A = this chain, B = another copy of it.
Amino acid sequence: MSTPSGNLAEAVAVAPETASAPSGFKIFNRIVDWITNERMQLINITDRINDIVRKSGVRDGVVHLQSLHTTTAVFINEWQDALLHDVRAFLDDLIDRESYWRHNDPQYSDCERRNADSHLRGMLMGQTLCLQVRNSAVLLGTWQSIILAEFDGPRSRSLSIQVSGV
């Protein structure tokens, strides 16, 4: 089942930094960590990203999200329990954990996590997402939520967030 972001241990790992040019063009960087507790887990990070955008002082620009782990992803979808169940079922079915994968075969690979499926899911869904910032908030349609996907948990995961603009 999906986990509300409120249940997650969350900590700011790195002090925020702002690189400001004389012009008013600003870049604000922050790394946020999440501790996940399931192998495949979807986390709604929309509110957290909006907090950071608000604090960045950027009114108009973009926010760029980059997960630092190959077996994760960041994407947009509606945050509804039934649909999140379908998302997990779809990814489970499309990339079968139990198929033969060379990455899981000790004859070819020194990886002991047997997580080829996690790598393929992360690659397919993508580890970066760039969204517009308007009026000091992330621009999102009514049904759009920002989702961080864990594909090889439980683990601690870092997301680098960069807000830039004027």
Contacts and interface: CB of A to CB of B under 8 A. Distances in A.
Contacts of A122: 77
Interface residues on A, range: 35 or more
Contact of A76 (B89, B127, B162): B127
A24 interface: yes
A58 B68 CA distance: 21
Interface string A66-92: 111110000111101111011101100
Given A102-B82, A102-B86, A144 B27 contact: no
A19 B60 contact: yes
A21 B22 CA distance: 10
A126 interface: yes
B127 A144 contact: yes
A46 interface: no
Contacts of A68: 139-142, 144
Contact of A134 (B29, B67, B102, B134): B29
A152 to B, nearest CB: 11
Contact of A108 (B81, B89, B120, B139): B81
A132 interface: yes
Interface of A: 19-25, 27, 29, 59-62, 64, 66-70, 75-78, 80-83, 85-87, 89-90, 94-95, 101-103, 105, 108-109, 111, 116, 119-120, 122-132, 134, 139-144, 158, 160, 162, 164-166
